Amino acid sequence: MNIQKCSVNGKKIHTSEVRAVENSLIAIGFSYSTLEASDKRLDKMATYQRNSDGIRRLGSAAADAVYVACGRFEAFVEAGLAAWDIAAGSLIIQRAGGRVSDHSGGEDYLFGRSFVATNGYIYDEFMKMV
């Protein structure tokens, strides 16, 4: 990957141009260290499912992040991450036109252990659900 061009196999990547959460695919993740399903987590999953075009769970924060950058997903949200899980992906998303933050909308996504990524267009709407 060329960071300046943000490309894969010579083809420039960019986030999707979907402009509404209801038309979006949302990747979700949760820490394997807390696999017990809490009511709060299940409620969030149901909210994402009801208000979007669907949710996906790949099991890899790095893959989820790059899928947002490539326009395959419009958003990705997860808590309990370490910096190495999303450091590269967050840079790629931003270079591809997306927006990243922590769950409160701040800049502490690398070390704050919560991560939100969107294509940029749906960020404000999506953050109301996070």
Structure tokens at 42: 């299940």
Query: Are residues 98 and 120 in contact, defined by beta-carbon separation less than 8 angstroms?
Result: yes
pLDDT value of position 2: 47
17-127: CATH architecture: 3-Layer(aba) Sandwich (3.40)
Cα–Cα distance measured from residue 56 to residue 104, given in angstroms and rounded to the nearest whole number = 22
Q: What is the pLDDT of residues 16-52, one digit of tens each?
A: 999 999 999 999 987 666 555 577 888 899 999 999 9
Low-confidence ranges of the chain (pLDDT < 50): 1-3
Other CB atoms within a 10 A radius of the CB of residue 63 amount to 15
The domains of the chain are located at: 17-127
Q: Say whether pTM exceeds 0.85.
A: yes
Q: Where are the beta strands (DSSP E) in the chain?
A: 7-8, 11-12, 25-28, 54-56, 75-79, 99-101, 114-118
Q: Please, what's the b/e burial string for 77-103 (b: 16 or more CB within 10 A of its CB; e: otherwise)?
A: bbbebeeebbbebbebbbbbbbbbbbb
